[in-house]
Amino acid sequence: MAGLRVDLFLTRKDGKTPIGFYRYHADMKGKYGSHWRWEIEDRGLLENNHWYGIEQYAKMNTPGKNDGTLRAWVDGKPAFAKVDIRMRDTDKLKIELIWFNLYHGGSKAAEKDHHIYLDDVVISRKPIGMVKVRK
């Protein structure tokens, strides 16, 4: 399962919120998935009160090979690319659903309400290009 992870509530850098993929895969080192932050030119560091165009791409690997792919773009510019993932060892595992998750993290409850606004969510087998992002 690939998904957008937004650590809105815990880890911030220079007042910005880092986002990334949280992925379970065949080469994990423990029982928890790997968290890969979107770090190309810090495009995965998002400011509050700002609209962003986020695009993601996931391609399963050939069973047993490290050729799976995860890519991400922020406002049409590359934010993440990993093309050597062994997600599975059998062709019976396939992408079957999209899991859209915003995660507070840990066992501590949020100390106050938090809000995020999402709009124009599209799921497609082909690139659709950027929709006009609000400013």
Give domain limits for the chain: 1-135
pTM attached to this predicted model: 0.81
Q: What is the band of 109 on the pLDDT scale with cuts at 50, 70, 90?
A: confident
Specify the pLDDT at position 5.
45
Unique residue bearing structure tokens 């957008």: 4
Q: CA-to-CA distance for 8 and 18, rounded, in angstroms? A: 8
Q: Please report, rounded to a whole number, the percentage of residues in the chain having pLDDT higher than 90.
A: 37
3-state secondary structure 43-72: CCEECCCCCCCEEEEEECCCCCCCCEEEEE
